[in-house]
Structure 1
Amino acid sequence: MSMTTGSSPTTLPNQPAGRVAVVIEDDADIRNLLSAILTQAGFTCHASGTGAEGIEAVRSHQPIVTTLDISLPGIDGFEVARQIRAFSSTYIIMLSARDEEIDTLMGLDAGADDYLTKPFRPRELRARIEAMLRRYHLPGLTESGGPAPAAVPAAAPGAAPGGGTAAVDDHDDEAGWLEHNGLRINEEMWLCDVDGSTVELTRSEFDLLLAIMQGARRVISKDALALELRGDYATTGYVSDSDKRAVEVHMANLRRKLNDPVGAPRFIETVRGVGYRLADARRSTARR
Protein backbone atom coordinates (compact mmCIF):
# COMPACT_ATOMS: atom_id res chain seq x y z
CA MET A 1 0.00 0.00 0.00
CA SER A 2 1.27 3.49 -0.74
CA MET A 3 0.19 6.88 0.40
CA THR A 4 1.67 10.29 -0.24
CA THR A 5 1.18 13.62 1.44
CA GLY A 6 -2.00 15.29 0.33
CA SER A 7 -3.60 12.13 -1.06
CA SER A 8 -7.10 10.94 -0.22
CA PRO A 9 -7.51 9.30 3.18
CA THR A 10 -6.83 5.57 3.33
CA THR A 11 -9.79 3.43 4.41
CA LEU A 12 -10.92 -0.18 4.49
CA PRO A 13 -14.41 -1.42 3.53
CA ASN A 14 -16.97 -1.43 6.37
CA GLN A 15 -14.69 0.65 8.57
CA PRO A 16 -16.46 2.08 11.67
CA ALA A 17 -17.38 5.72 11.29
CA GLY A 18 -15.57 8.13 13.55
CA ARG A 19 -12.27 6.26 13.88
CA VAL A 20 -9.90 8.86 12.49
CA ALA A 21 -6.11 9.02 12.73
CA VAL A 22 -3.49 11.50 11.52
CA VAL A 23 0.09 10.56 10.67
CA ILE A 24 2.70 13.35 10.74
CA GLU A 25 5.93 11.95 9.30
CA ASP A 26 8.36 13.30 6.69
CA ASP A 27 9.83 9.92 5.69
CA ALA A 28 7.56 8.55 2.95
CA ASP A 29 8.27 4.87 3.71
CA ILE A 30 7.52 5.23 7.42
CA ARG A 31 4.50 7.39 6.63
CA ASN A 32 3.12 4.67 4.39
CA LEU A 33 3.84 1.99 7.00
CA LEU A 34 2.06 3.96 9.75
CA SER A 35 -0.89 4.62 7.47
CA ALA A 36 -1.14 0.89 6.68
CA ILE A 37 -0.98 -0.09 10.39
CA LEU A 38 -3.69 2.38 11.36
CA THR A 39 -5.89 1.53 8.38
CA GLN A 40 -5.69 -2.17 9.24
CA ALA A 41 -6.68 -1.23 12.80
CA GLY A 42 -9.90 0.28 11.43
CA PHE A 43 -9.02 3.96 11.13
CA THR A 44 -9.53 6.46 8.36
CA CYS A 45 -5.98 7.75 8.08
CA HIS A 46 -4.81 11.19 6.93
CA ALA A 47 -1.05 11.55 6.35
CA SER A 48 1.07 14.71 6.37
CA GLY A 49 4.74 15.22 5.59
CA THR A 50 5.36 18.45 7.52
CA GLY A 51 4.48 19.82 10.91
CA ALA A 52 2.39 22.67 9.53
CA GLU A 53 0.35 20.29 7.34
CA GLY A 54 -0.06 17.94 10.29
CA ILE A 55 -1.42 20.66 12.56
CA GLU A 56 -4.01 21.58 9.95
CA ALA A 57 -4.91 17.90 9.44
CA VAL A 58 -5.57 17.51 13.16
CA ARG A 59 -7.62 20.69 13.18
CA SER A 60 -9.66 19.61 10.15
CA HIS A 61 -10.20 15.90 10.89
CA GLN A 62 -10.28 15.82 14.72
CA PRO A 63 -8.53 12.44 15.03
CA ILE A 64 -8.65 10.11 18.01
CA VAL A 65 -4.98 9.19 17.48
CA THR A 66 -2.08 11.16 16.03
CA THR A 67 1.40 9.76 15.40
CA LEU A 68 4.05 12.45 15.39
CA ASP A 69 7.69 12.34 14.29
CA ILE A 70 10.13 14.60 16.16
CA SER A 71 12.51 15.39 13.29
CA LEU A 72 10.28 17.27 10.88
CA PRO A 73 11.22 19.92 8.34
CA GLY A 74 10.37 23.44 9.48
CA ILE A 75 8.53 22.99 12.78
CA ASP A 76 9.91 20.14 14.90
CA GLY A 77 7.68 17.58 16.60
CA PHE A 78 7.92 19.20 20.04
CA GLU A 79 6.49 22.48 18.74
CA VAL A 80 3.88 20.63 16.67
CA ALA A 81 2.72 18.80 19.83
CA ARG A 82 2.47 22.09 21.74
CA GLN A 83 0.42 23.71 18.99
CA ILE A 84 -1.90 20.68 18.67
CA ARG A 85 -2.45 20.65 22.43
CA ALA A 86 -3.72 24.23 22.23
CA PHE A 87 -6.90 23.00 20.49
CA SER A 88 -7.06 19.19 20.50
CA SER A 89 -7.13 16.28 22.97
CA THR A 90 -6.08 13.73 20.33
CA TYR A 91 -3.94 10.91 21.72
CA ILE A 92 -0.42 11.80 20.54
CA ILE A 93 2.14 9.04 20.10
CA MET A 94 5.53 10.61 19.46
CA LEU A 95 7.95 8.61 17.29
CA SER A 96 11.68 9.25 17.14
CA ALA A 97 15.03 7.62 16.44
CA ARG A 98 16.31 9.38 19.56
CA ASP A 99 16.33 7.05 22.55
CA GLU A 100 17.66 9.37 25.26
CA GLU A 101 15.39 9.80 28.29
CA ILE A 102 15.54 13.59 27.96
CA ASP A 103 13.91 13.35 24.52
CA THR A 104 11.10 11.23 25.94
CA LEU A 105 10.50 13.68 28.77
CA MET A 106 10.60 16.66 26.41
CA GLY A 107 8.02 14.96 24.20
CA LEU A 108 5.70 14.25 27.12
CA ASP A 109 6.15 17.77 28.46
CA ALA A 110 5.21 19.16 25.04
CA GLY A 111 1.90 17.30 25.24
CA ALA A 112 2.53 13.78 23.91
CA ASP A 113 0.74 10.89 25.63
CA ASP A 114 3.17 8.17 24.62
CA TYR A 115 6.65 7.87 23.11
CA LEU A 116 7.94 5.11 20.85
CA THR A 117 11.51 4.74 19.59
CA LYS A 118 12.31 3.93 15.96
CA PRO A 119 12.67 1.33 14.64
CA PHE A 120 9.41 0.19 16.20
CA ARG A 121 7.50 -3.05 15.81
CA PRO A 122 4.12 -2.57 14.07
CA ARG A 123 2.47 -4.98 16.53
CA GLU A 124 3.74 -2.90 19.45
CA LEU A 125 2.34 0.32 18.02
CA ARG A 126 -1.02 -1.27 17.30
CA ALA A 127 -1.13 -2.84 20.77
CA ARG A 128 -0.55 0.54 22.39
CA ILE A 129 -3.26 2.17 20.31
CA GLU A 130 -5.78 -0.58 21.01
CA ALA A 131 -4.99 -0.43 24.73
CA MET A 132 -5.57 3.32 24.67
CA LEU A 133 -8.95 2.87 22.98
CA ARG A 134 -10.02 0.30 25.57
CA ARG A 135 -8.89 2.49 28.44
CA TYR A 136 -10.92 5.45 27.30
CA HIS A 137 -13.97 3.64 25.95
CA LEU A 138 -13.54 5.63 22.72
CA PRO A 139 -14.41 9.13 24.02
CA GLY A 140 -16.91 10.70 21.64
CA LEU A 141 -17.73 7.33 20.08
CA THR A 142 -20.08 4.49 20.84
CA GLU A 143 -18.69 0.99 21.37
CA SER A 144 -19.47 0.19 17.74
CA GLY A 145 -17.32 3.10 16.60
CA GLY A 146 -20.12 5.42 15.55
CA PRO A 147 -20.64 8.96 16.86
CA ALA A 148 -21.98 9.16 20.39
CA PRO A 149 -24.90 11.37 21.39
CA ALA A 150 -23.92 14.88 22.38
CA ALA A 151 -23.15 15.22 26.07
CA VAL A 152 -25.47 17.37 28.15
CA PRO A 153 -23.54 20.30 29.65
CA ALA A 154 -22.88 19.74 33.33
CA ALA A 155 -24.43 22.03 35.88
CA ALA A 156 -22.06 24.03 38.02
CA PRO A 157 -21.15 22.49 41.37
CA GLY A 158 -23.83 23.34 43.91
CA ALA A 159 -26.50 23.96 41.28
CA ALA A 160 -29.76 22.07 41.65
CA PRO A 161 -32.47 21.51 39.02
CA GLY A 162 -34.73 24.52 38.71
CA GLY A 163 -32.10 27.04 39.77
CA GLY A 164 -31.80 26.14 43.47
CA THR A 165 -28.62 25.19 45.27
CA ALA A 166 -27.36 21.96 46.71
CA ALA A 167 -24.07 20.83 48.12
CA VAL A 168 -22.05 18.25 46.20
CA ASP A 169 -21.15 14.83 47.57
CA ASP A 170 -17.51 13.78 47.14
CA HIS A 171 -18.76 10.76 45.14
CA ASP A 172 -21.92 11.75 43.28
CA ASP A 173 -22.36 8.29 41.74
CA GLU A 174 -25.92 8.84 40.50
CA ALA A 175 -24.85 11.56 38.11
CA GLY A 176 -21.61 9.79 37.19
CA TRP A 177 -19.46 12.52 38.73
CA LEU A 178 -16.65 12.30 41.26
CA GLU A 179 -16.12 15.56 43.20
CA HIS A 180 -13.43 16.82 45.56
CA ASN A 181 -12.85 20.36 46.80
CA GLY A 182 -14.61 21.87 43.76
CA LEU A 183 -12.87 19.57 41.26
CA ARG A 184 -15.24 17.30 39.32
CA ILE A 185 -14.61 14.54 36.81
CA ASN A 186 -16.98 12.37 34.80
CA GLU A 187 -15.55 9.22 33.21
CA GLU A 188 -18.46 8.51 30.87
CA MET A 189 -18.74 12.04 29.45
CA TRP A 190 -14.96 12.57 29.64
CA LEU A 191 -15.39 15.94 31.30
CA CYS A 192 -13.51 17.77 34.03
CA ASP A 193 -14.21 21.10 35.68
CA VAL A 194 -12.99 23.20 38.60
CA ASP A 195 -15.47 25.49 40.34
CA GLY A 196 -17.73 25.20 37.29
CA SER A 197 -15.04 26.09 34.73
CA THR A 198 -14.10 23.41 32.19
CA VAL A 199 -10.52 22.12 32.30
CA GLU A 200 -9.14 20.65 29.07
CA LEU A 201 -7.00 17.58 29.78
CA THR A 202 -5.08 15.20 27.58
CA ARG A 203 -6.17 11.58 27.75
CA SER A 204 -3.18 10.65 29.92
CA GLU A 205 -3.81 13.53 32.31
CA PHE A 206 -7.47 12.57 32.53
CA ASP A 207 -6.55 8.95 33.23
CA LEU A 208 -4.19 9.90 36.06
CA LEU A 209 -6.71 12.23 37.64
CA LEU A 210 -9.49 9.65 37.40
CA ALA A 211 -7.33 7.00 39.11
CA ILE A 212 -6.50 9.38 41.96
CA MET A 213 -10.09 10.55 42.34
CA GLN A 214 -11.31 6.96 42.46
CA GLY A 215 -8.66 6.13 45.04
CA ALA A 216 -9.79 9.00 47.29
CA ARG A 217 -7.39 9.25 50.26
CA ARG A 218 -5.71 5.95 49.39
CA VAL A 219 -2.17 6.48 48.11
CA ILE A 220 -1.71 5.46 44.46
CA SER A 221 1.91 4.54 43.70
CA LYS A 222 3.80 5.80 40.67
CA ASP A 223 4.19 2.18 39.56
CA ALA A 224 0.43 1.67 39.60
CA LEU A 225 -0.15 4.92 37.70
CA ALA A 226 2.49 3.97 35.10
CA LEU A 227 0.71 0.66 34.51
CA GLU A 228 -2.59 2.55 34.28
CA LEU A 229 -1.17 4.72 31.52
CA ARG A 230 0.05 1.66 29.63
CA GLY A 231 -3.41 0.08 29.81
CA ASP A 232 -3.76 -3.48 28.52
CA TYR A 233 -0.31 -3.17 26.98
CA ALA A 234 1.08 -3.66 30.51
CA THR A 235 1.57 -7.42 30.33
CA THR A 236 4.71 -7.88 32.44
CA GLY A 237 4.03 -5.43 35.25
CA TYR A 238 7.60 -4.11 34.94
CA VAL A 239 7.90 -0.36 35.51
CA SER A 240 11.13 1.41 34.56
CA ASP A 241 12.52 4.67 35.92
CA SER A 242 11.53 6.25 32.60
CA ASP A 243 7.91 5.11 33.13
CA LYS A 244 7.90 6.76 36.57
CA ARG A 245 9.39 9.96 35.18
CA ALA A 246 6.66 9.98 32.54
CA VAL A 247 4.06 9.87 35.32
CA GLU A 248 5.82 12.80 37.03
CA VAL A 249 5.78 14.85 33.82
CA HIS A 250 2.09 14.18 33.18
CA MET A 251 1.34 14.97 36.82
CA ALA A 252 3.21 18.28 36.62
CA ASN A 253 1.21 19.23 33.52
CA LEU A 254 -2.01 18.20 35.25
CA ARG A 255 -1.24 20.28 38.33
CA ARG A 256 -0.45 23.29 36.17
CA LYS A 257 -3.82 23.05 34.45
CA LEU A 258 -5.63 22.63 37.78
CA ASN A 259 -3.65 25.50 39.35
CA ASP A 260 -2.74 23.10 42.15
CA PRO A 261 0.72 23.92 43.58
CA VAL A 262 2.72 21.09 45.17
CA GLY A 263 3.46 23.14 48.28
CA ALA A 264 -0.17 23.94 49.05
CA PRO A 265 -2.30 21.36 47.22
CA ARG A 266 -6.05 21.75 46.97
CA PHE A 267 -6.61 18.60 44.95
CA ILE A 268 -3.59 16.26 44.67
CA GLU A 269 -1.16 15.58 47.49
CA THR A 270 2.28 14.04 46.93
CA VAL A 271 3.30 11.31 49.37
CA ARG A 272 7.07 11.55 49.07
CA GLY A 273 8.73 8.36 47.87
CA VAL A 274 5.38 6.58 47.42
CA GLY A 275 2.88 8.28 45.10
CA TYR A 276 -0.20 10.49 45.14
CA ARG A 277 -3.57 10.82 46.81
CA LEU A 278 -6.37 13.37 47.16
CA ALA A 279 -5.60 16.31 49.43
CA ASP A 280 -7.63 16.83 52.62
CA ALA A 281 -11.21 17.83 51.90
CA ARG A 282 -12.42 21.33 52.77
CA ARG A 283 -15.27 21.68 55.19
CA SER A 284 -18.44 21.69 53.16
CA THR A 285 -22.04 20.59 53.35
CA ALA A 286 -22.51 17.14 51.81
CA ARG A 287 -25.32 16.73 49.33
CA ARG A 288 -27.82 14.01 50.26
Structure 2
Amino acid sequence: MTHHIGVVEDDANIQDIVKAYLEKEGFTITAMDSAEDAWELWETRQPDMWVLDIMLPGMDGYEFCKKIRQESDVPIIIISAKDEEIDKILGLELGGDDYLTKPFSPRELVARVKRVLKRTSHEESGHTPDDRLKSGDLLIHESDRRIFWQGEEKDITTKEFDMLLLLARHPNRAYPREELLTNIWGEDYFGSDRAVDDLVKRIRKKLHGIPLETVWGYGYRLRQDEESL
Protein backbone atom coordinates (compact mmCIF):
# COMPACT_ATOMS: atom_id res chain seq x y z
CA MET A 1 0.00 0.00 0.00
CA THR A 2 1.35 3.43 -1.00
CA HIS A 3 0.62 6.05 1.63
CA HIS A 4 -0.45 9.54 0.57
CA ILE A 5 1.19 12.28 2.68
CA GLY A 6 0.21 15.93 2.70
CA VAL A 7 3.18 18.25 3.27
CA VAL A 8 2.28 21.78 4.39
CA GLU A 9 5.37 24.03 4.36
CA ASP A 10 5.70 27.61 3.07
CA ASP A 11 9.49 27.51 2.75
CA ALA A 12 9.97 26.35 -0.86
CA ASN A 13 13.44 24.92 -0.23
CA ILE A 14 12.35 22.84 2.77
CA GLN A 15 9.20 21.75 0.95
CA ASP A 16 11.23 20.51 -2.04
CA ILE A 17 13.69 18.60 0.19
CA VAL A 18 10.96 16.94 2.26
CA LYS A 19 9.01 16.03 -0.87
CA ALA A 20 12.09 14.54 -2.57
CA TYR A 21 13.13 12.42 0.42
CA LEU A 22 9.63 11.07 1.04
CA GLU A 23 8.99 10.31 -2.64
CA LYS A 24 12.31 8.46 -2.75
CA GLU A 25 10.90 6.16 -0.03
CA GLY A 26 7.85 5.41 -2.18
CA PHE A 27 5.30 7.78 -0.62
CA THR A 28 2.84 9.78 -2.70
CA ILE A 29 3.26 13.45 -1.78
CA THR A 30 1.00 16.45 -2.19
CA ALA A 31 2.90 19.59 -1.18
CA MET A 32 1.23 22.90 -0.29
CA ASP A 33 2.38 26.20 1.17
CA SER A 34 -0.75 27.17 3.12
CA ALA A 35 -3.21 25.58 5.53
CA GLU A 36 -6.07 26.85 3.39
CA ASP A 37 -4.85 24.78 0.44
CA ALA A 38 -4.33 21.83 2.78
CA TRP A 39 -7.92 22.07 3.98
CA GLU A 40 -9.17 22.00 0.38
CA LEU A 41 -7.13 18.83 -0.15
CA TRP A 42 -8.61 17.33 3.02
CA GLU A 43 -12.14 17.89 1.72
CA THR A 44 -11.41 16.26 -1.64
CA ARG A 45 -8.63 13.68 -1.21
CA GLN A 46 -7.73 12.95 2.39
CA PRO A 47 -4.04 12.07 2.98
CA ASP A 48 -3.00 9.17 5.21
CA MET A 49 -0.69 11.53 7.14
CA TRP A 50 0.21 15.21 7.43
CA VAL A 51 3.66 16.75 7.77
CA LEU A 52 2.70 20.18 9.03
CA ASP A 53 4.66 23.39 9.55
CA ILE A 54 3.40 25.62 12.36
CA MET A 55 4.36 29.08 11.11
CA LEU A 56 2.21 29.49 8.02
CA PRO A 57 0.66 32.54 6.32
CA GLY A 58 -3.04 32.92 7.10
CA MET A 59 -4.30 29.97 9.13
CA ASP A 60 -1.39 28.65 11.19
CA GLY A 61 -0.50 25.01 11.78
CA TYR A 62 -2.01 24.90 15.26
CA GLU A 63 -5.42 25.97 13.97
CA PHE A 64 -5.23 23.53 11.06
CA CYS A 65 -4.27 20.68 13.41
CA LYS A 66 -7.21 21.56 15.65
CA LYS A 67 -9.63 21.49 12.69
CA ILE A 68 -8.34 18.13 11.48
CA ARG A 69 -8.63 16.62 14.97
CA GLN A 70 -12.31 17.59 15.07
CA GLU A 71 -12.85 15.18 12.17
CA SER A 72 -10.12 12.54 12.23
CA ASP A 73 -7.21 10.95 14.11
CA VAL A 74 -5.06 10.87 10.95
CA PRO A 75 -1.37 11.00 11.99
CA ILE A 76 0.21 14.48 12.09
CA ILE A 77 3.92 15.25 12.39
CA ILE A 78 4.54 18.88 13.32
CA ILE A 79 7.66 20.72 12.17
CA SER A 80 8.54 24.17 13.44
CA ALA A 81 11.38 26.66 13.91
CA LYS A 82 10.07 27.26 17.42
CA ASP A 83 11.89 25.26 20.09
CA GLU A 84 10.14 26.41 23.25
CA GLU A 85 8.84 23.61 25.47
CA ILE A 86 5.35 25.13 25.57
CA ASP A 87 5.14 25.01 21.77
CA LYS A 88 5.96 21.30 21.74
CA ILE A 89 3.38 20.60 24.44
CA LEU A 90 0.75 22.69 22.65
CA GLY A 91 1.41 20.92 19.38
CA LEU A 92 1.06 17.49 21.00
CA GLU A 93 -1.96 18.54 23.06
CA LEU A 94 -3.78 19.66 19.91
CA GLY A 95 -3.28 16.17 18.54
CA GLY A 96 0.14 16.09 16.89
CA ASP A 97 1.73 12.62 16.90
CA ASP A 98 5.31 13.84 16.76
CA TYR A 99 7.28 17.11 16.72
CA LEU A 100 10.47 18.06 14.88
CA THR A 101 12.34 21.32 15.37
CA LYS A 102 14.03 23.10 12.47
CA PRO A 103 16.71 22.59 11.31
CA PHE A 104 16.15 18.84 11.12
CA SER A 105 17.63 15.95 9.18
CA PRO A 106 15.41 14.83 6.27
CA ARG A 107 16.43 11.25 7.10
CA GLU A 108 15.18 11.75 10.66
CA LEU A 109 11.84 12.96 9.30
CA VAL A 110 11.60 9.90 7.03
CA ALA A 111 12.32 7.62 10.01
CA ARG A 112 9.63 9.28 12.09
CA VAL A 113 7.10 9.12 9.27
CA LYS A 114 7.69 5.39 8.92
CA ARG A 115 7.50 4.84 12.68
CA VAL A 116 4.24 6.73 13.10
CA LEU A 117 2.65 5.00 10.11
CA LYS A 118 3.76 1.61 11.39
CA ARG A 119 2.25 2.32 14.79
CA THR A 120 -1.06 3.50 13.37
CA SER A 121 -1.40 1.19 10.36
CA HIS A 122 -4.12 -1.44 10.62
CA GLU A 123 -2.41 -3.59 8.01
CA GLU A 124 0.71 -3.96 10.15
CA SER A 125 -1.05 -4.50 13.44
CA GLY A 126 -1.12 -8.29 13.04
CA HIS A 127 -4.63 -8.43 14.53
CA THR A 128 -7.97 -9.41 13.08
CA PRO A 129 -10.95 -6.99 13.12
CA ASP A 130 -12.46 -9.06 15.96
CA ASP A 131 -9.58 -8.43 18.37
CA ARG A 132 -10.98 -6.82 21.48
CA LEU A 133 -9.60 -5.93 24.88
CA LYS A 134 -11.92 -5.26 27.80
CA SER A 135 -11.09 -3.57 31.09
CA GLY A 136 -14.15 -2.84 33.19
CA ASP A 137 -16.34 -0.42 31.21
CA LEU A 138 -13.55 0.17 28.70
CA LEU A 139 -13.67 -1.80 25.44
CA ILE A 140 -10.85 -1.51 22.90
CA HIS A 141 -11.06 -2.75 19.31
CA GLU A 142 -7.35 -3.08 18.65
CA SER A 143 -7.13 -3.49 14.87
CA ASP A 144 -9.88 -0.94 14.21
CA ARG A 145 -8.34 1.43 16.78
CA ARG A 146 -11.75 2.19 18.28
CA ILE A 147 -12.56 2.95 21.89
CA PHE A 148 -15.88 2.34 23.64
CA TRP A 149 -16.50 3.69 27.15
CA GLN A 150 -19.61 2.50 29.00
CA GLY A 151 -21.03 1.27 25.69
CA GLU A 152 -20.49 4.53 23.79
CA GLU A 153 -17.84 4.98 21.11
CA LYS A 154 -15.47 7.87 21.78
CA ASP A 155 -13.45 9.98 19.36
CA ILE A 156 -9.81 9.86 20.41
CA THR A 157 -6.41 10.75 19.02
CA THR A 158 -3.62 8.33 18.14
CA LYS A 159 -1.71 8.93 21.36
CA GLU A 160 -4.83 8.67 23.53
CA PHE A 161 -5.50 5.28 21.95
CA ASP A 162 -1.88 4.16 22.43
CA MET A 163 -1.91 5.06 26.12
CA LEU A 164 -5.24 3.36 26.78
CA LEU A 165 -4.14 0.23 24.95
CA LEU A 166 -0.86 0.05 26.87
CA LEU A 167 -2.52 0.52 30.26
CA ALA A 168 -5.41 -1.84 29.49
CA ARG A 169 -2.99 -4.59 28.46
CA HIS A 170 -1.38 -4.35 31.90
CA PRO A 171 -4.20 -3.46 34.33
CA ASN A 172 -3.24 -2.23 37.80
CA ARG A 173 0.41 -1.87 36.80
CA ALA A 174 1.85 1.52 37.70
CA TYR A 175 3.78 3.06 34.81
CA PRO A 176 6.34 5.81 35.50
CA ARG A 177 5.99 8.91 33.33
CA GLU A 178 9.37 8.27 31.70
CA GLU A 179 8.27 4.80 30.53
CA LEU A 180 5.01 6.18 29.17
CA LEU A 181 6.95 8.81 27.23
CA THR A 182 9.20 6.14 25.71
CA ASN A 183 6.33 3.79 24.83
CA ILE A 184 4.00 6.42 23.37
CA TRP A 185 6.23 9.21 22.04
CA GLY A 186 9.32 7.14 21.23
CA GLU A 187 12.83 6.93 22.60
CA ASP A 188 13.98 10.07 20.80
CA TYR A 189 11.40 12.35 22.41
CA PHE A 190 13.17 14.94 24.55
CA GLY A 191 10.23 17.02 25.77
CA SER A 192 8.88 17.39 29.27
CA ASP A 193 6.88 14.64 30.96
CA ARG A 194 4.12 17.24 31.21
CA ALA A 195 3.02 15.83 27.85
CA VAL A 196 1.99 12.65 29.73
CA ASP A 197 -0.02 14.64 32.28
CA ASP A 198 -1.77 16.58 29.52
CA LEU A 199 -2.62 13.35 27.69
CA VAL A 200 -4.12 11.84 30.85
CA LYS A 201 -6.22 14.99 31.40
CA ARG A 202 -7.66 14.71 27.91
CA ILE A 203 -8.47 11.01 28.34
CA ARG A 204 -10.21 11.66 31.67
CA LYS A 205 -12.23 14.45 30.11
CA LYS A 206 -13.39 12.28 27.21
CA LEU A 207 -13.93 9.10 29.25
CA HIS A 208 -15.57 10.55 32.34
CA GLY A 209 -15.15 8.28 35.35
CA ILE A 210 -12.44 6.04 33.86
CA PRO A 211 -10.31 4.60 36.70
CA LEU A 212 -7.08 6.07 35.31
CA GLU A 213 -5.33 6.75 38.58
CA THR A 214 -2.41 8.98 39.46
CA VAL A 215 0.38 7.26 41.36
CA TRP A 216 1.74 10.30 43.14
CA GLY A 217 5.37 11.06 42.49
CA TYR A 218 5.57 8.20 39.99
CA GLY A 219 3.08 7.97 37.13
CA TYR A 220 -0.27 6.37 36.26
CA ARG A 221 -2.17 3.09 36.21
CA LEU A 222 -5.52 1.84 34.95
CA ARG A 223 -7.27 0.23 37.88
CA GLN A 224 -9.21 -2.95 37.21
CA ASP A 225 -11.22 -4.73 39.89
CA GLU A 226 -10.24 -8.31 40.61
CA GLU A 227 -13.55 -9.74 39.44
CA SER A 228 -13.02 -8.09 36.03
CA LEU A 229 -9.58 -9.60 35.48
TM (normalized to structure 1)? 0.72
Q: Which residue of 1 aligns with 2:154?
A: 199
Spell out the pairing of 1:1-288 with structure 2 (5 A cutoff). Answer: 16-17=1-2, 19-136=3-120, 138-139=121-122, 142-143=123-124, 175-231=130-186, 234=187, 240=190, 242-260=191-209, 266-281=210-225
Tell me how far apart the structure 1 counterparts of residues 103 and 74 of structure 2 sit (CA, whole Å): 23
Fraction of identical pairs, as percent:
38
Distance in 2 (alpha carbons) for counterparts of 1:41 and 1:204: 25
SS in 1 for 2:201: helix
- Return the alpha-carbon distance in structure 2 between the equivalents of residues 217 and 121 of structure 1: 40
**Which SS does the other structure have where 1:42 is aligned?**
coil
| Alignment-mate amino acid for residue 177 of structure 1 | R
Distance in 2 (CA, whole Å) between partners of 1:60 and 1:229 is: 31
**Structure 1 runs of 4+ off > 4 angstroms?**
none
State which drifts further: 105-114 or 91-100. Answer: 105-114
Partners of 1:249 and 1:58 lie apart in 2 by: 27
- Select between 28-37 and 88-97 the one with higher mean Cα deviation: 28-37
SS in 2 for 1:72: coil
Distance 1:56 1:250 in 2: 29
- In structure 1, distance between residues paired with 2:184 and 2:168: 15
The AA in structure 2 aligned to 1:203 is T
Task: Structure 1: state its 5+ residue gaps.
Answer: 1-15, 144-148, 152-174, 261-265
- Structure 1 or 2, whichever has the larger Rg, is 1
Relative to structure 1, is the Cα distance of residues 184 and 59 closer, same or farther in structure 2, using a 3 angstrom cutoff? farther
Q: Is the contact made by 2:54 and 2:61 (CA closer than 8 Å) also made in structure 1?
A: yes
Distance 2:196 2:4 in 1: 27
**Residue type matched to 1:271 in 2?**
V
Superposed CA deviations along residues 43-81 of structure 1, whole A, max 9, x for unmatched, are 211112111211232343332221111111111111111
Identify if the C-alpha distance between structure 1 residues 65 and 73 changes in structure 2 by more than 3 Å, giving closer, same or farther: same
Q: Secondary structure at the match of 2:178?
A: helix
Q: CA deviation at 1:282?
A: 9.2
Question: What amino acid does structure 2 have at the position aligned with 1:25?
Answer: E
Secondary structure of the residue aligned to 2:193 is helix
Q: Is this contact kept in 2: 1:62–1:90, CA < 8 A?
A: no
For this pair of structures, how many residues does the alignment match?
Answer: 226
Task: Give the gaps of 5 or more residues in structure 2.
Answer: none
Return the letter of the residue paired with 2:199. H
Q: CA deviation at 1:271?
A: 0.7
- Aligned-residue RMSD, C-alpha: 2.2
Q: Distance in 2 between matches of 1:251 and 1:112?
A: 15
Q: SS in structure 2 opposite 1:217?
A: coil
Q: Deviations over 1:152-192 (max 9, x none)?
A: xxxxxxxxxxxxxxxxxxxxxxx521122311112222111
Q: TM-score normalized by structure 2?
A: 0.89
